[in-house]
Structure 1
Amino acid sequence: MRTARLAVAALAVLAATACGGGAAAPKAAGSATFTVTADLPPAKGPVDAVTWALYAEPQSLDYAYAFDYPPNTVLANVCEQLMRITPGSRVEPGLASKAESPDPGRWVYTIRQGVRFHDGSPLTADDVVASMRRHMDPAVGSYWVSSYQNVKSVEKTGPMEVTVHLKKPDHLFNEQMGTSAGTIESAAFLAAQGSGYGTPDKGVNCTGPYSLDKWEKGQAINLKRFDGYWDPALKARAATVRNVFISDPAARVNALLSGEADGSYLVPTTGFTRLGSASSGKLYFGPNTAAVSLIPLNLKGTLGDLRLRKALSMALDRKSILQAGVAGV
């Protein structure tokens, strides 16, 4: 089972009852010695249900605002993008069966045939155009608007073809189509739900291996397997997934140890030792493309001196920061 397919993975705990496999476990949880695992082990077989712990309740499931782990963990199973980012950080076709750049000013996407939304309606070029244009609409206020900063227009140029015209060449644009910037939603559903799209009451209607079943406000988001999913290689193995909201770090660790929750991302560093030595599951350390930066905002004062900034950088005790912040990992 592959419960979540996030482009950026951090730390995950999986209970042995949910997933099995032989991926390397950390050598010494809680210390700087650990093993990075690119992907979770494949499922041994189907299961009825999985409970996944989120550290917060998503504010929305609108893909335009999906910029954090709680909404992305859910949406990675429910919605899909034009392109896919693999566990090895490669970009490959997703809802677009082909992506081409015939010249530096265009990206042309051939839309995959035979894909259906969770309500049964077929995926069309009109859905792609409507979904992409939302990021460029100031009224929407998309968190992913920067991905479209070099886009002049998005047009339907064939029955199953969409062309993106650029203001200037942007070789990173196609890679962004593997993030929420490339998520495709039903144009009809977007129009019908309006400002209520992505809320607990209105929900979403995408093409992923799971559909949104019920959002229990303040408690959980329940997903159910979409049997009409187009890609047999990524067919869901769990019939249902319940994403529970556990904001307290200690409570989340206890839920994992007790079996109340089968897995979680970004587990508390204070729980590394207990989770790493637990017999009921495994602690995994995954690759992460995120970075932490210290950026001075006022260069008119003392920090305007490049020499001082270099000196501060050299004086930073990075090992101690890692030990204090992420238990040395």
Structure 2
Amino acid sequence: MGSTVSTQVQKRKALSTEKKVLCDLNQSCGCDFPSSDYRPPDRKAWMAGLGPEKLHVNKIVWPGTHDSATNKIGIPFVSRPFAQCQSLSIYRQLVLGTRVLDIRVQEDRKVCHGILVTYSVDVVIRDIKKFLSETEKEIVILEIRTEFGHPDPLDFDKYLVDQLGEFLIHQDDHVFGKTIEELLPRRIICIWKPRKSPHLKAGDPLWSAGYLKDNWIDTDLPSTKFDSNIKHLCDQPPVSSRKYFYRVENTVTPKADNPVLCVKPVTGRIHEYARLFISQCFAKGCADRLQVLSTDFIDEDFVDACVGLTHARIEGKA
């Protein structure tokens, strides 16, 4: 009993120290970066607003959501707080400016997060189609993976192609150097990550798992995650020469050996530091590597930060 209490005391001290590290860094260094004051006039159509003819895929800083389809997961006030990472529907996230979606499915094609389940993936597809019908020049990266511990849904690749075929941008390394205008009228880069990898090749309508990479650090300590994100980003080649998307997740996650297990208060420890992260990328010399930035509980300011840096890149300011 005594050792358990001592361990918890040490963990609380570590958390307090790490929160102070980020707070002090924010106060001393600030969170300014090129075009950090830019605000898109219409977040629903921010790509169109920046000019699709000059917006190259590899210059975009893509705002993404982590565990995107968890707004209605589990039982309200009972299990939902332990697995909900977004409060908005997929459609509302896209309208807000999200352009990378992280969807996990189980064998019956229902979206899940661990052992908790929510609506069918059909709801996700319907929301994406609704958004695409209301916009003309927005591109979405849709990552769908089989959740850990589950078998792949039967014929799921065929399902995705049947549902999204007319919108799918086919797997092609040349896409990274193209503008949004050159990809239209196709609108979705769909990356399918099954447990048993299919044989996908250049020209296929779906993209292989290796086209969206990250270095996930499973921690609830904000400064540890922040520093790890910087370190791994520095290890990547610049976006100008990269033939895959690299994601940084501005999130921390609850740990079973800590008393706070609800997602929102835990991820809130790092949530406000997205702009600080971007500014530190410039300070550390790795801003030219930043590409996909994801978060829990996405908000307008997070989207604006990503769009602002994208604006700076196409204007030659970053």
Q: What is the TM-score with the length of structure 1 in the denominator?
A: 0.27
Larger Rg: 1
Normalized per residue, the structure richer in helix is 2
Normalized per residue, the structure richer in strand is 1
